[in-house]
Amino acid sequence: MNVVLGVSGSIAAYRAADLARDLMRQGFTVRVCLTDAAQKFVTAALFETLTGQPCLTDTFEEPQVGRMAHIDWARQADLIVVAPATANTINKLAAGIGDDMLTTIVLAATCPLVVAPAMNPQMYANEVTQESLRLLATRATAIVEPQEGDVACGEHGQGKLATNEQIVATVNAVAVRKKVLAGKHVVITSGPTQEPIDEVRYLTNRSSGKMGSALARAALLLGARVTVVSGPVQVSYPLQAKVVRVRDAVQMLEATVEAAQGADIVIGAAAVADYRPADPVVGKVRRSSEPITLTLVPNPDIIAHVARKYPAAKVIGFAAEPTSELTVAREKLVRKGVFAIAANDVSQPGIGFESENNELVLVTHDQEPISSGKRSKLQCALWLLQKIVVS
């Protein structure tokens, strides 16, 4: 497994030398990238000698002529760990700035990221640093909390780089997580459907596709191959996921049945319209002073259909209900014949539709319901997939 160790300009940079060795002892191939400030404390030659690998320091460096090293290293990395991570580098990572080799590699990478902050306690407590760490955590970056103690500047407080043992343990945990779904195919339905009334109007709902997108990212972080069958959404899906775009429920059924053949896990996160207009009008319904009646017919139950057709797959449905009551989720579990239902209470402020956060309750046939707690949709998605694997 390839690890890129990013070292930034902290007094604790000297500890990265031992960390590189400790990671190599765990079987990782370690390549080091130093920021300019890090080179005031440690040298590329030190890490090249220790690791037997080239060490990058400059954005325009090309150890292999004609190959962009930041892209090569990002593609080849199974995991990136930034230790020690300065306040400056943490804030840049959170903001998506790529103004040196290290931050550019992180921007170009899709693999998991581990960040071990080290700094003066005031810099650590600074609102901006704390906000950046929170933001990174919502994107599933593993933060190895600094320790409390006497720091180099003579102050006492939280800011000392975590022990190498703690950093290695986190790297190992993230590396193991990456194998949870290795070799598995996960199919996710996402977003709303649009059910045409005529050629310019349709019935739809408030689903944004954010939960589906988070599930796709989480499944990729856990090592799966991912297919998303998506209704019309603004949200973007990870580039490594295969995305099949559909518009209405009937198209979503066809695309999901095709994608789910041989799949290991199928998650129905799409908010599929329960009904569609019986006879969509060709052209446009014209205004008149008379009331009109729209006849609706039921749409296919996609997730129930997939569960019946592919009994070997773990099929999970979502139940977005305006209540924390689990009666509907339990009823759906049985009626749809699925492996589990992820229920979420869309009446609660700050979670559910269009929101950045969610709270899921996993309802299965033989275990007590369990809650993810309120967290980012990506963290909920990682929680859900890991629970499904062990259930």
Ligand X SMILES: Cc1cc2nc3c(=O)[nH]c(=O)nc-3n(C[C@H](O)[C@H](O)[C@H](O)COP(=O)(O)O)c2cc1C
Stretch of 115-123, 185-193, 248-256, 335-343 lying at the interface with ligand X (CB under 6 A): 115-123
Q: Of 142, 84, 78, 134, which is closest to residue 110 (Cα–Cα)?
A: 78
**What b/e string do you get for 196-220 counting C-beta neighbours within 10 Å, with b at 16 or more?**
ebeeeebbbbebbbbbbbbbbbbbb
Catalytic residue selected from 55, 111, 153, 380: 153
The smaller minimum CB distance to ligand X, of residues 34 and 271, is found at 34
Least distance CB 101 / ligand X (angstroms): 10
153 is catalytic: yes
* 207 near ligand X (CB under 6 A): no
When asked if residue 87 is in the footprint of ligand X (CB under 6 A), the reply is yes
Stretch that binds ligand X, among 31-39, 62-70, 172-180, 329-337 (CB under 6 A): 31-39
Please report whether residue 8 would count as binding ligand X according to CB under 6 A. yes
Rounded to an integer, what distance in angstroms lies between the CA atom of residue 37 and that of residue 107?
19
Quote the least distance from Cβ 33 to ligand X, whole Å: 11
Closest to ligand X by CB, 37 vs 137, is: 37
* C-alpha distances out from residue 320 to 323, 325, 348, 363, Å: 9, 11, 11, 13
> Which of these segments, 116-124, 193-201, 218-226, 349-357, binds ligand X (CB under 6 A)?
116-124
- Which C-beta is closer to ligand X: that of 151 or that of 273? 151
Distance of CA 391 to the CA centre of its chain: 21
Q: Helix, strand, or coil here: 132? A: helix
Tell which residue, 236, 259, 230, 218, has the closest CA to residue 385: 218
Q: From CA 155, how far away is CA 205, in angstroms rounded?
A: 55
Residue among 12 and 162 whose Cβ is closer to ligand X? 12
**Which positions from 224 to 263 touch ligand X by CB under 6 A, shown as an x/- string?**
----------------------------------------
Residue 104 binding ligand X, by CB under 6 A: no
Q: Does 105 bind ligand X (CB under 6 A)?
A: no
Which of the stretches 30-38, 74-82, 169-177, 368-376 binds ligand X when contact is defined by CB under 6 A? 30-38
How far apart, in whole angstroms, are the C-alpha atoms of residue 25 and residue 293? 72
**Structure token digits, residue 347:** 């009446």
Inter-CA distances, 42 with 20, 319, 364, Å = 13, 54, 53
Catalytic residue ranges: 153
Interacting residues toward ligand X by CB under 6 A: 8-12, 35, 37-38, 86-89, 118-119, 123
